Structure 1
Amino acid sequence: MLMGLSCTTRRRALHVCCLVCILAIALRSSTAFASASPANASVSPAVEVGFELVTYTSVVKLEHALTGYRLYSMEVPYGSGSQQQAVTAFPHGRDDHTLWRVKEAHHVVDAASSAGGAMADALPWRAVRCQDTIRLEHARTRKNLHSHLMSSPLSGQQEVSAFAHDVDGRGDSGDNWVVECVDTQATHWDRGSAIRLRHVDTSSSSSSSGSTYLTTAMQYAYAHPIDGHLEVSAVKVRNNRAVASNEALSWRATEGFFRAAEK
């Protein structure tokens, strides 16, 4: 679906129907390459001592705090809007469609490249700090969680896609997200604690204009044959009080593949 959005109800319905058709797939199981918690557990798994923090190069499954759905993508483009790779939320996490690698911000890669440095992660295994700007690379397709000023197919909010210019996962500044720790006393991204992901390019420095956050919601569910998938979008929130009280903006990385952090 998700190719060019129309304002009319008829065209929006047609685009949604296209997306539903092309996203119909069977989930496939994958092999873990490090210690991981059970997929689709009904309670948060215990966190191993020494592995409490999310680090750069960790591979995580992001679970939405309000719905329990996991951030999901696959090699299928939207049929409207950007026509980039679709991103949804899905309740099961048994396959590699829900795995995302934590990377440094896009501008960090550019700086390393300009200085003649390697294009690999500049900050391997360092713990992610609250307010760090990061990218999330989809492990299966090597495309980055991305947003821009296009309408999402169901809610009409801001489209979220997976994007890269090439097979090496190199995208642009639309891939940058700020990690906001819900616990205002926290200094680092703790696996058991909620965070918000604020989109850099489409958030304003003016508090009156608001900031844009990754979200999903049960009322924006795709129909058969991909029932169970929810739309993932970015929503503009106008003030800090509204952000702090909105659990629909919160995500957790309780599952994944981790290493002891270097602060």
Structure 2
Amino acid sequence: IVYSMSRIRLLLGFIFALLNSSALGLEYDFVTSGSVTKLMNKVYTVRLHSHDVKYGSGSGQQSVTGMNSQNDANSYWQVRSPTDEHITRGTPIKCGQSIRLTHINTNTNLHSHHFKAPLSKEQEVSAFGTDGEGDHLDNWVVVCSGKYWKRNNFVRFQHKETKAYLTCSDQVFGRPIHGQQEVMATLRDDTGSANYWKSMEGVFLKPTETPNKN
């Protein structure tokens, strides 16, 4: 198997995070740049998921769904710098900060645009790019209360370009991704909606600074 240098760097980053993470019994309160995590939806309790299956409509890009299983390796995402900024590894992510979420197994980025989602017909969310690099439509703003993205809190991800929030619909796919839930983006800003996500299983880089917990 031949891996690109970008793919190798991403895998090495995952290993580095593992060796410096809560997997060794250390506990950190904040999500930091370079950390790898699964994200659980507040309403439907599915994990944000992707895989090498393309949408049959819309953009035709790699599909993003909600997965019921907690153990599927295709639900890991790495928190990375946005396309127009560098965030040092281990830096706690601030509320209001832009990030990219890179899918570990396919090295594509969480992405959105003005194509329609296949089931709800809202805004499509896909996985896009090659070797971890895509474009400015991969940038998402972390919307949360306080100063930093805390691991135990639910947060929202607002697409920087379109202002739509990452969310789940109540609709479920058939073949070839039977039983997986539609993930899309919406402009509805409803505090009781499914546009809240929580960092769950993962490996977290030790903060490079000790932030104020407020």
Name the TM-score, length of structure 2 as normaliser: 0.83
Q: Which residue of 2 aligns with 1:221?
A: 172
Confirm or deny: 8 A CA contact 2:89 2:205 kept in the other structure: no
Q: Deviations over 1:137-190 (max 9, x none)?
A: 0000110000000000000000000001x32x1111100000001xx3x21111
CA positional deviation for 1:50:
4.0
Distance (whole Å) between structure 1 residues aligned to residue 166 and residue 36 of structure 2: 18
Q: Which residue of 1 aligns with 2:208?
A: 262
Question: Which moved further from structure 2: 145-154 or 250-259?
Answer: 250-259
The alignment status of 1:95 with 2:48, answered yes or no, reads no
Confirm or deny: 8 A CA contact 1:36 1:255 kept in the other structure: no
Q: Which residue of 2 aligns with 1:149?
A: 114
Distance (whole Å) between structure 2 residues aligned to residue 160 and residue 36 of structure 1: 30
Distance (whole Å) between structure 1 residues aligned to residue 55 and residue 155 of structure 2: 27
The alignment status of 1:252 with 2:191, answered yes or no, reads no
Distance (whole Å) between structure 1 residues aligned to residue 205 and residue 18 of structure 2: 12
Confirm or deny: 8 A CA contact 2:18 2:204 kept in the other structure: no
Q: Deviations over 1:18-47 (max 9, x none)?
A: xxxxxxxxxxxxx9945678xxxxxxxxxx
Q: How does 1:56-135 map to 2 (within 5 A)?
A: 56-108=33-85, 122-135=87-100
Q: Find runs of 4+ consecutive structure 1 residues off by over 3 angstroms.
A: 31-37, 224-227
Unaligned runs of 5+ in 1: 1-30, 38-47, 110-121, 204-211
Identity of aligned residues (%): 38
CA positional deviation for 1:227:
3.2
Q: Which amino acid aligns with 1:101?
A: Q
Q: Which has the larger Rg?
A: 1
Q: Report the secondary structure of 1:249's partner residue.
A: coil
Q: Which residue of 1 aligns with 2:123?
A: 158
Two-structure CA RMSD over aligned residues (Å):
2.1
Unaligned runs of 5+ in 2: 1-14, 210-214
Name the TM-score, length of structure 1 as normaliser: 0.68
CA positional deviation for 1:194:
0.5
